């Protein structure tokens, strides 16, 4: 009988140990699920903010498209030609200035490679 009582006590100790291990694992799992919930809530807030931003962008883009449609109508075709010429002029000015700048930079670097300024 003494031997049976010792075996029962050993089993109870093992059960207690396993219950503590299970409790630790459940605590870790609970912490992980709380962290996941917090991350999901933060992501939902970010998505809501970006949704509002995109909605306002959509309104601005719609207004711009309406103005562009009005600008491209037959009645405003002359203004569209002026706008296109202006944009092309700006592009070619920037292109020519940048090509001058890069050619000047390459001349400067070639002179520095030869040891002269």
pLDDT on residue 106: 64
**What's the confidence (pLDDT) of residue 24?**
96
pLDDT in tens, 8-62: 999 999 999 999 999 999 999 999 999 999 999 999 998 888 888 888 888 888 8
Helix (H) or strand (E) holding 102: helix 77-113
* DSSP SS3 for 73: coil
Radius of gyration of the chain (CA): 37
Report the alpha-carbon distance of residue 106 to residue 54 in Å, rounded. Answer: 44
Rounded Cα distance, 107 and 96, in Å = 16
What token pair was written down for 20? 């503590």
Residue-range domain boundaries for the chain:
1-71, 77-117
Tally of CB atoms within 10 A around 100: 10
Record the pTM: 0.44
Summarised one tens digit per residue, pLDDT across range 85-109 is 999 999 999 999 888 877 766 665 6
Question: What CA–CA distance (Å, rounded) separates 13 from 20?
Answer: 11
Tell me the pLDDT band of 7, cut-offs 50, 70 and 90: confident
CA–CA gap between residue 4 and residue 18 (Å, rounded): 21
């Amino acid at each position: 009988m003494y031997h049976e009582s010792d075996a029962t006590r050993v089993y109870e100790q093992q059960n207690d140990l396993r219950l503590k291990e299970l409790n630790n694992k459940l605590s870790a799992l609970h912490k992980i699920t709380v962290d996941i919930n917090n991350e999901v809530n933060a992501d939902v807030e970010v998505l809501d903010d970006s949704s509002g931003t995109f909605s306002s962008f959509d309104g601005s883009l719609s207004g711009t498209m309406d103005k562009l449609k009005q600008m491209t109508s037959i009645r405003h075709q002359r203004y569209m030609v002026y706008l296109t010429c202006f944009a092309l002029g700006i592009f070619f000015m920037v292109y020519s200035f940048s090509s001058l700048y890069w050619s000047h930079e390459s001349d400067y670097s070639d002179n520095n490679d030869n040891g002269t300024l």
